[in-house]
Structure 1
Amino acid sequence: MIWLLRFVLLFFIFFLLYAVVKILFTPSRKLESARKHNRFLLIDNDDVRKNFMLTYKGAVFAGEKYMGTADNTFDIVSISIWPESAISLKGLVKDDFFYIDKKILENYPNAEINWKSPVKEFLQQ
């Protein structure tokens, strides 16, 4: 009976440690930490149907990937990006958006990047 209690206690301790480690290393925590420290971070899934998130200089952006044919292969051909909050764009200049474009094109070289409002209007000025 005592060995069963020890086994259950050991199982509970391992489960608790696993849960804590999983919570500490979630992508949303990494994104929030990068946002607070004004770093660039792109969190992306390999799944085309899921959006990606990125942060740069405290602003958080979301993006959708669209698959199509490029050079006789299926690849990501279009990406739409929008800010999660327009207020967080304060202080960003055009070069910041060009830097974000460059970083995204490193991962998806065949993609055409489309910014949604209000960034689209800002870049057209």
Structure 2
Amino acid sequence: MWLIRFLLFALIIFLIYSTIKYLLNPKRKLELAHEQKKFFFLDNTNNVRKNFLLTYKGVLFEGEKYLGTTDDAFVVVDVFMWPHRVSALNGLVREDFEFIEKKVKEHYPHAKVDWKSPIHEFMKKSHSSQTPFTKN
């Protein structure tokens, strides 16, 4: 009888532990933010070799970090980013990519953010494709 009570108690403790661990899992938070089309930044800042993930407006981006030197420290100096699905970029504008760059710079202030194609080409275009109006 005591053994059954002990096993039942252990099972309840295990279920509570598993539920809490699931709810606090950062990957789950990333997936939830991705579904809700919110911003979420998932990164292990202590591991430079591991890429970070971020989601914004329903688009999942991955960023690759490169370590380099500044005048007084070794820090992340380059970040290359790309979307997981290019077709998901539909509707994003330049300000969205500038917002993402700003958020990455909050985590890596010394980093230069570069985008892979096709975002790279999009960001290189001039802010305005119209020529200024001149009077004759």
Give TM-score scaled by structure 1 length. Answer: 0.92
SS of 1:61's partner is strand
> Over residues 84-122 of structure 1, what are the superposed CA-to-partner deviations in whole Å (9 max), with x where a residue is unaligned?
100110000111101110111011100011111111111
Residue 39 of structure 1 deviates from its aligned partner by 1.4
Please give the secondary structure, in 2, of the residue aligned with 1:92: coil
Aligned match of 2:55: 55
The alignment's C-alpha RMSD in Å is 1.2
In the alignment, which residue of structure 1 is the partner of 2:111? 111
Q: 1: CA distance between counterparts of 2:117 and 2:26?
A: 26
Runs of 4+ in 1 over 4 A off after TM superposition: none
Higher Cα Rg: structure 1 or 2? 2
Q: Please give the secondary structure, in 2, of the residue aligned with 1:39.
A: coil
* Number of residue pairs aligned between Structure 1 and Structure 2: 124
The CA distance in 1 between the partners of 2:5 and 2:115, in whole Å, is 57
89-98 or 16-25: which moved more? Answer: 16-25
If the length of structure 2 is used for normalisation, what is the TM-score? 0.85
Which one has the bigger helix percentage?
A: 1
SS at match of 2:48: coil
Partner of 1:25: 24
Structure 1 unmatched ranges of 5 or more: none
Q: What are the within-5 Å matches in structure 2 for residues 28-107 of structure 1?
A: 28-46=27-45, 47-107=47-107
Report which structure shows greater RCO (CA 8 Å, sep ≥6). Answer: 1
